[in-house]
Each structure stands twice: as structure tokens, then as C-alpha cells.
Structure 1
Amino acid sequence: MHCLLLIGLLSSAIGLRWMVSRHPYSGQKKGPMFGDFEAQRHWMEITVNMEPNEWYQNSTMNNLSYWGLDYPPLTAYHAYLCGLVSNMLNPSWCKLNESRGHESSEHKLFMRYTVTKKITTLMTLLFCPLLYLIDHGHFQYPL
């Protein structure tokens, strides 16, 4: 019974996420700013194509009125790491000043998998020291 409940909850969570993702997001296909998705994509574009000392500076290559990076440096470095992976998968996703408004389904899927809270939660669960020490070190349940 417990297993069926878990499967039902997991299926419901996946189904709900799928249903929400089938509908337009804020600003989708609505230039010139294209919404929050574009802000996140643009921050990856800025961080992978410019030097860190230029990320927060207005210039011809970094127009701060177009989704200027306005969060603390930790957010910028997160965008940088995601941008590096994004660039390896498809350089057109973060091509400086040429990829504005890019909304491919592949890039949207990539962006969904880079959400920090999900990654942090997963890493916490997978690498929680107390879980290893108590459940696997102390109790040593037989397999």
C-alpha cells in the first residue's frame, strides 16, 4: 500500500508539472523583453561571453536595460556554470546579442533542469552525511 501511495504521489507531481509546462510562460514570444525565461537565458549569455568585471557594467555589448544582471555574484556564477554547459550543448542558445528571444523546446528543457533548488535538494538527499553515517554506517541494514 505504501508503494502504491508513493507511485501515486510521484505520478501526480510529474503530471502536474507536465500540465503546467504545456501552457505559455510569462512573456513567451512577446518581445522585446520576452519574460523571465529570457532574463535567465540572457544572464547565461552575458556570463559566458564577457569577463566577470563586465557583467554588471553597461556597454554596447551589455545593455543593462535589456535584462541586466542585477543579482549578487553567486547568481551570476550559477548562470556562468549553466551557460558553460549550455554552450557545450548548443552554442546558439547563448550567442552574445544574437540569441535574444531564443525559445526552443530543447533549451527550455535544459533550463528546467538547471533550477538550483531542485539540484540542491537532490544533492542534499544523495550526499547527506547523517544519512550515510546513521542509516548506512551505524544500522547497516542487510541487503
Structure 2
Amino acid sequence: MIWDFVIPGIPLSVNSKDAKKKQRWIEHVRSCATGKLPEDGFPLSGDVSVSVTYFHSGGTDVDIDNILKRIIDGMYPEVMDDDAQIQDVSASRREMVGASFRNPPPIILPYLVSADPFVYVTVYAAMPQEELPWIGKMKR
């Protein structure tokens, strides 16, 4: 893992029509992403993979695919040079109520205790294409 951060709150859908809400959410993401960002090594310039997990306490109507764009928009230019660097994205939505967590990342512990909704984002170096088990190297 290269970097991880937490975004408190309910993520804004890409389908939101309110331009001010969109910009506020992107700025909130950017603030969370860069709050404790090390000075060295950022913005990232190589290929990356991004994992997004939305934790909620039940009764959500947030479509996981619709939250990715605004979160990714909030990560550049401070975390990465350009969103075109993203080679892989994974996204999930998880309910906290009644869940049992084994070895959660320390950064999310206070949020799990509060049970308030939040998004956990991790950024990894992308696996080179030739190392992907389902692609492999092209033979010439």
C-alpha cells in the first residue's frame, strides 16, 4: 500500500445534479486525502490501483459504482498526477452493524466505533500487466 485515508460522511453520487454539492464533496475528499500526506513521493506519477470501501450503518441507497468518480476526482493533483494513472479500481459497500472485524486498519478504528458512515480509500502501486495471472506476457 502506498497511501490510505478516510472520508467521513455519506459519499455523493455522480448522479447528483447540484454543482455546489459536487464541488464541496470533491473538496472534502481532497482535504481528507491530503490531510497527513507525506511531502516526499507525492503526487504519485506511476500506475496505481485504488480500492474504495463505503462503510454504513444500514439502510443505504448509495450505488457503489456511482461514488467512485467524485472520490477519484478529489485525489488529484495532490495524491496522483492524473486519474489516467489508475489501472485498477475495486469498490465495495459494507454494513458495520452486526459485523465482526478482524485486524482492521488502525486508521478506520475510530470510525468503526462511532458507527457513522465513512469511506476508506487505499492506493496501491498497480501490478504490472505481465504479472496479472489472467493476461500474462505477449509472445512475439
Normalised TM-score (structure 1)? 0.28
> Which structure has more helix as a fraction of its residues?
1
- Max Rg structure: 1
